[in-house]
Amino acid sequence: MITVHHLENSRSQRVLWLLEELGVPYEVRRYERDRKTMLAPPALARVHPLGKSPVITDGEMTVAESGAIIEYLLDTCGDGRLRPRPGTPEQRRYTYWLHFAEGSAMPPLLMKLVFDKVRTAPVPFFIKPVVKGIADKVTKSFIAPNIERQLDYMEAELATRPWFAGTEFSAADIQMSFPLEAAAARAGLGKSRPRLMDWLSRIHARPAYQRALTAGGPYSVAG
């Protein structure tokens, strides 16, 4: 049986959701973050050398990285579901968004989280203005414009179709859920991006998404 090594409030929530969409039996092994550092516990390093989540085990097989896990599960359990037929425009868009989620969307969001923490970190009072000034400048000049550009791009893409790959829901939407939930929590989507807000509402309403929340426990990406 597939075991999902599930770190709270992490990308592994997507793996639970995918398995629920596929109706594949699995078990969850939960891990809690260190309350001070918010890092994964050392126990995860016994599953995979990098000690991060998501990671699954399937018999003797260990698979890490969200995109690799999605492809492994669709190859072994998908029976053609949740990804478009090869050679179609939908398949090319599917591949693009599957990689865009972590390759393009997440880095500036992660940088925003880091610099937000730098801005509020406890430091000696006499250097606090300097630290805050640097964090503010990097955020304003680089991080925020990149996030805004990407969100505008994603909003425009959904003008021509309801899901990222096309007219049908796919695993690309599952992969895109984490960056867009993070953007909604950390950067704001607002009324200017109604298509993205509608997309989030639709994925959250899916029964499999709700079952994954039950399986994984409390879930937040607010940082």
Give the pLDDT confidence of 134-171 residue by residue, as tens digits: 888 888 889 999 999 999 999 999 999 999 999 999 99
Tell me the HSE value of 25 on the side-chain side, using a 13 A CA sphere: 1
CA 176 to chain centre: 6
Cα separation, 166 vs 83, in Å, equals: 10
Domains in the chain: boundaries: 2-83+211-216, 89-206
pLDDT value of position 123? 72
Specify the 3-state DSSP secondary structure of 62. Answer: strand
pLDDT number for residue 223: 58
Q: How far apart (Å, rounded) are the C-alpha atoms in residues 148 and 223?
A: 19
Residue 139 confidence (pLDDT): 85
User: Packing angle between helix 106-120 and helix 171-186, nearest 10 degrees?
Assistant: 30
pTM: 0.93
Tokens of 96: 């693009």
The position carrying tokens 């075991």 is: 3
Q: What is the structure's pLDDT at 159?
A: 96
Q: Which CATH class is domain 89-206?
A: mainly alpha
CATH topology of domain 2-83+211-216: Glutaredoxin (3.40.30)
Q: What's residue 157's pLDDT?
A: 97
- β-sheet with 26-31: strand ranges across: 26-31, 2-7, 55-58, 61-64
CA dist 129 and 119 (Å) reads 9
Residues of the chain with pLDDT under 50: none
